Amino acid sequence: MRGETEKMMKATVTTYQKGQLLSGLYFFVQCKGENSGRPLRQPIANCWVVTVEHAEDLDRYYYLSYALWLAGGFKVYLRGSVVPFLVIHEYKACMSKAECATQAEAQRFTESVENVSRFEVQLQQLRHHLVELQQAKRRSLAYLLRL
């Protein structure tokens, strides 16, 4: 991986280095492993940082990367036999191509991003409820064992 910087339409993708001070609007992208291309809110050891100037671009690029990762769009670009990895210039090219494709359907893509955002909130709520149910189940069984 090189620390090169290349512009997509309105985003800059660079290699993230632990302890790097970041400013502005950004998200991270996993670049090694089976989940290469997955966008992240927090950095991990092997990731890139995608920086944008506007909040609407942040959501658009985050969810564009998320959609490509979820649909397996980065799988064809993975290299490596033991630990698969994604090369930064192929990530940029794939994102640029996907961005051009979604520009023709900009309104539908925006609506899809809003839907996915709502789904993510609902998933978080469901995960929270599942944890609460597991805890209630444990308490109930623990109470029975005390009898």
Model pTM above 0.85: no
Host domain of residue 23 = 1-104
pLDDT of 45-68, one tens digit each? 999 999 999 988 898 899 999 999
Residues 117 and 86 in one domain: no
Q: Please list the ranges in the chain whose pLDDT falls under 70.
A: 1-9, 147
32 CB burial (10 A radius; 0-12, 13-18, 19+):
middle
The amino acid sitting at 142 is A
Same structural domain, 11 and 22: yes
What does the angle CA 50 – CA 80 – CA 65 come to, to the nearest 5 degrees? 25
Neighbour-count burial of 135, counting CB atoms closer than 10 A to its CB (0-12 exposed, 13-18 middle, 19+ buried): exposed
Total domains present in the chain = 2
Instruction: Determine the pLDDT at residue 84.
Output: 93
For the packed helices 55-70 and 88-103, what is the interaxial angle rounded to 10 degrees?
110
CATH number at 71 reads 3.90.220
13 and 5 Cβ atoms separated by less than 8 Å: yes
- Cα–Cα distances (Å) from 43 to 20, 86, 127, 132, 135, in that order, read 10, 16, 22, 28, 30
